[in-house]
Each structure stands twice: as C-alpha cells, then as structure tokens.
Amino acid sequence: MDNADIARTLDAYAALLDLAGAGHWSVRAYRRAADLVRATPAPVAELVRSGRVRELRGIGSGIEARLRELVTTGRIAELEQLEREVEPELVALGRYLGIGPQRLVALGRALGIRTADELRAAAEAGRLREAPGVGPATEAKVLEALARGREPARRGLTRNRALALASQLAEATDATVAGELRRGCELVHRVALVSGARGALDRFAAHPAVVALLERDETRAAGVTVEGIPVELVAAPPERFGTELLRSTGAAAYVAALGPLPDAPTEEETYAALGLPWLPPELRESPFRGEPPHLVEVADIRGDLHCHTTWSDGKASVLEMATAARDRGYEYLAICDHTPNVRVVPGLDADLLRRQAEEIAAANEQLAPFRVLRGTECDIRADGSLDLPDDVLAELEWVQLSLHAGQRLPESELTARVTEAMRHPAVRCLSHPRGRILNHRPPNALRIDRVLEVALETGVALETNGLPDRLDLRDEEVRLAVEAGVPVVCSTDAHSVQGLDNMRLCVTTARRGRATAVDVLNTRPLAEILRR
C-alpha cells in the first residue's frame, strides 16, 4: 500500500465522518493526516510498521491506530461500516438541493434510491410521494432543484477552502482551475476545471471529493462535494483548450459579449483570434472595453502592514513573524496587536506596548536591514476616541484604526464615529472598514463616500484585509478608492506565520478593484511609507 493509497483512504474516511455528523475537529484531523501522508517522501506503511509514524507532526494515537489497521489488514472496518450507513451521495445531494440531508436519506431508504439519477427518475415518475411524509410540494422542490442543476449553491466556499478543494481535483485530473476561483471571487459557489488530459473525466468521476455525480457526457462531468458544493470538469481537446478555458473562466455576461469563440490551443491565441488583448481573469465579470490596466501583483508587495503576535491573539512571536515575512521577500512588517477595548482577546495598553518595543528592537537588530515596525490595531471606543493615550500613539510607526464593536450602529452615527477617529493625527490606515464576515455577518452601514472624503483630507489609507472570510474592503469598494485617489493597503491581518500567505487573497481583491501597483501603498519602499 503506497502513500497515495493510504491518503485516499484517509480522505474517504474523513468525508464519511463528515457525512455522519462527526465533530469538525476529527474530520479536519483526518483530512490533514491525508495531506501529510501525501506529502511525506518516506513510505508511510513502513513508518507505521516500525512504530515511527507518530514522528510525523499531526498524527496522534487515534489516527495511528487506524493507520495500523489499514496497513496490516488492508482496510478500515469502521470506514466500511460508515459506507453502508451514511449513504454519502444522498447526504451530499440533500445539502446541494437545500433539502435536509436526513430527510433525503430517509426518503432514499423508503424508495430504495441511492443516486442522483435514481432520484431524478423517481421524481419524474411521481414516485417520491410513495414515501411516508412526502407530498407534492417536496416532489416539486426536488424536481426544481435538480433542474436548477447548473446554478450556483447559495452559500459559497471562502477562497482558501475552494483553492484546497480545487487543487486536489486539478492535480488528480491534470486540470487548470477556471470559473469563480480563477476570477478571484470572494466566495466560490461552483468549482470549475478544464482538462486536456486523457481519462480526466473518469478520474474526476472517481475522485473521493466528488460524492455524487449529477451529469456526465463526453465533454463534461458535474458533481457535488460532501458540503453540497457543485464541482465541474470540462474535457477539452488540445486544439481547443484555450477556448474552453476562456469559456469556463469568464462570467456568463462577459463570455456572451465576446460572441462566438474561435478554436485555439491557448487562451492567448483565443484572444488574439478575437482581435483582443488577453484580459486578467479578475476583470472578466462583465463586458470589458479598452486596454487592460496593469494590475498590482503579489510580487509588487514590499511589506505587510497588519499582523498579530502572541502579545495578543496571534500564534507566533514577533521574531517568528518577522523572520517569516523576511523569508517571503518583504522589506518590512508592522506588528499591530490589539488594544484593551477589544476585550474578547488580550489587548495591549501603553505599558505593554512599550515592553513589546524592546522585543521589536531586538528583532530589528537580528534581521537588519529588514525592518519590523512598531504598530497597533487600535480600537475606536464607543465615544469615538482612540483606545491608547496620545503619547504612546505618537511613538508608533504604523497605527491601524479598527472598529470591533458597534457593527450594527445606524449609518450616520457609525460614519461619524469612524471619520472622527480617522482625523487623529497618528492614524495611518483604517482596517477592515465594513466589518463583515463572509457567510456570517453582513457589512456595516459605513458610508464609503464619506470615508473616502476624509481619507483624502487626512492621508489615511484604506485596508483590503486578507483574512479569507473578510476581504474587506471588497472589490467594488477598492475600485471606488482607486478612482478617488485614496491609497489602498493590502495586508493579511495574519495571526500565524501561515496567515502571511493570505497576501494573494487581498492582492486578488485589489486586482478585482482595478488597482495597479501605484494605487497600493505597501508596494512602496519603507521610507516613502513612513514619510507622511
């Protein structure tokens, strides 16, 4: 049994645990173990036999026991039992169709249905109402949901989760990621892939992440993940690969406006045949006219201006974060831990900030010429004042302003509170201005037009935050800032070393807002940023 076989079994086990309603943590532990096994160069079966598998980080005693069973018997008994019990395809379909998974499983049991095709056939034949508790309304709902087929799911995946899913599928099918994910949409409702490889459709249909297959013909397969997220693979012959990639990437309105697409092996050639310059995928939401702007790139970013450490709710020390930032090729990093008013996590008052300064000075000595900046993510208090005394604010090199409470205040009150705080002379940047959490909390009522006016007056920059469930400012608001001439900052708000990698997410958001490197403050050298 090689590492790929073991990883595949662990993935299937994780998916079934998820379907069976196991806790989030155990599902995640098995998913991580699968990734770990896949990435381990040594044969994991050998490590299991010699009792050394726990040396791999993230393999605990529970997972070790399952691995031993798998390596010695070739199977995991509980996995087989789960396969008999949970009917993954029906649970996934339930989530996808917006019908309670338990309900759909009960219905499937009553009628002997196990697949999407059988469900469709039964619904079309009017057989669903033979099941207890199913009336014409449910039957109509199932039919309508199945017919909707190609429409996006209501809730979307955040970009990092969509990227993880898509790269797994893309690797298995030698495919290129297209669709919303390639366009950089903040939530992904459908994962779309294009592959020119032989047998890609078969590999896609057999992949453990594709729990239920909804459609399949010679050119395309579509299915659903455990979470009910639609996934789709288009098989394109090499001579038409560029055409299909272009078609699968753009939003419907954008693609339709191009007219009939000529056949070409690459996207560049397809555009050339249309007589158009290649357009960055982030701009393919709606019909585009004119010359594409030269959008900002991750490589243009010289430093990250918002991150946390163990001084507040971060997981790494000042030195660890700074070293990781330097290793990513940056020239500077601003440490912006919370202030006391935030309450739910530890906050730093003036004394603690001055003690942190010593640690920052030591890191600077060690990492020079790299620069660690003394910063803060300073809360706006209920009365509109800043959560630190003026003397310590004046010592800091980078002050992020943040509203963490009062998210539901009425528009005028909220806008007044934020714009008043922006006028404080120490403030350099407004963090996550709309305070939204994707899939969870709507944006606040802040008037962006007023904020832009005050930003122009005061020189305060606006952040587009890289946390995958924030991405705030969002794309359209970045565009307003760019048009107004207000500098945008792409920062990750990292709470760990890995969090620094989310720079690609906020840069993508800035690109969707048509920002060029000139529009993004942290593409500039430090001297220009500190000069105000």
Contacts 24+ apart (CB under 8 A), 314-317: 314/494, 314/495, 314/496, 315/495, 315/496, 315/497, 316/496, 316/497, 317/359
Angle CA(110)–CA(113)–CA(115) in degrees, nearest 5?
155
Site string for Zn ion, 487-526 (x = CB under 5 A): ------x---------------------------------
Q: How far is the CB of 262 from Zn ion (least distance, A)?
A: 48
Q: How far is the CB of 494 from Zn ion (least distance, A)?
A: 9
Q: How far is the CB of 404 from Zn ion (least distance, A)?
A: 6
Q: Identify the burial level of 50 via C-beta atoms within 10 angstroms of its C-beta, where 0-12 means exposed, 13-18 middle and 19 or more buried.
A: exposed
> Which helix H or strand E contains 254, and what residues bound it?
helix 252-257
By CB under 5 A, the residues from 439 to 458 that bind Zn ion are none
Q: How far is the CB of 32 from Zn ion (least distance, A)?
A: 25
Name the segment binding Zn ion (CB under 5 A); options: 21-29, 85-93, 397-405, 448-456: 397-405
d(CA 157, CA 141): 24
Q: Which residue's CB atom is positioned nearest to Zn ion? A: 493
Pair 94, 105: CB distance under 8 Å: yes
Pair 328, 340: CB distance under 8 Å: no
Site string for Zn ion, 146-165 (x = CB under 5 A): --------------------
CB of 148 or CB of 343, closer to Zn ion: 343
CB of 86 or CB of 360, closer to Zn ion: 360
Pair 338, 308: CB distance under 8 Å: yes
CB of 142 or CB of 438, closer to Zn ion: 438
CB of 407 or CB of 516, closer to Zn ion: 407
Q: How far is the CB of 339 from Zn ion (least distance, A)?
A: 11
Residue 36: strand, helix, or coil: helix
Name the segment binding Zn ion (CB under 5 A); options: 104-112, 369-377, 415-423, 455-463: 369-377
By CB under 5 A, the residues from 96 to 135 that bind Zn ion are none
Q: How far is the CB of 162 from Zn ion (least distance, A)?
A: 23
Q: Report the chain's terminal Cα–Cα distance, integer Å.
A: 62
CB of 90 or CB of 305, closer to Zn ion: 305
Q: Identify the burial level of 24 via C-beta atoms within 10 angstroms of its C-beta, where 0-12 means exposed, 13-18 middle and 19 or more buried.
A: exposed
CB of 166 or CB of 401, closer to Zn ion: 401
CB of 308 or CB of 511, closer to Zn ion: 308
Name the segment binding Zn ion (CB under 5 A); options: 157-165, 197-205, 275-283, 373-381: 373-381
* The residue type at 182: R
Q: How far is the CB of 322 from Zn ion (least distance, A)?
A: 16
With CB under 5 A as the rule, give the number of residues binding Zn ion.
3
Choosing from 3, 158, 249, 402, the residue that interacts with Zn ion (CB under 5 A) is 402
CB of 465 or CB of 523, closer to Zn ion: 465
Pair 454, 424: CB distance under 8 Å: no
d(CA 468, CA 158): 6
Write out the E strands in 347-451: 371-379, 398-402, 429-430
d(CA 244, CA 232): 13
Name the segment binding Zn ion (CB under 5 A); options: 117-125, 141-149, 401-409, 498-506: 401-409
Choosing from 244, 377, 397, 463, the residue that interacts with Zn ion (CB under 5 A) is 377
Pair 360, 352: CB distance under 8 Å: no
Site string for Zn ion, 218-257 (x = CB under 5 A): ----------------------------------------
216: which strand partners?
A: 221
DSSP character at residue 15: H
CB of 176 or CB of 492, closer to Zn ion: 492
CB of 345 or CB of 530, closer to Zn ion: 345
The closest alpha carbon to 404, from 438, 429, 424, 377, belongs to 377
Residue 450: strand, helix, or coil: helix
Both tokens of residue 319?
């030195």
d(CA 279, CA 256): 15
Q: How far is the CB of 118 from Zn ion (least distance, A)?
A: 49
Radius of gyration over alpha carbons of the chain, in Å?
Answer: 26
CB of 146 or CB of 399, closer to Zn ion: 399
**For binding to Zn ion (CB under 5 A), which residues are involved?**
377, 402, 493
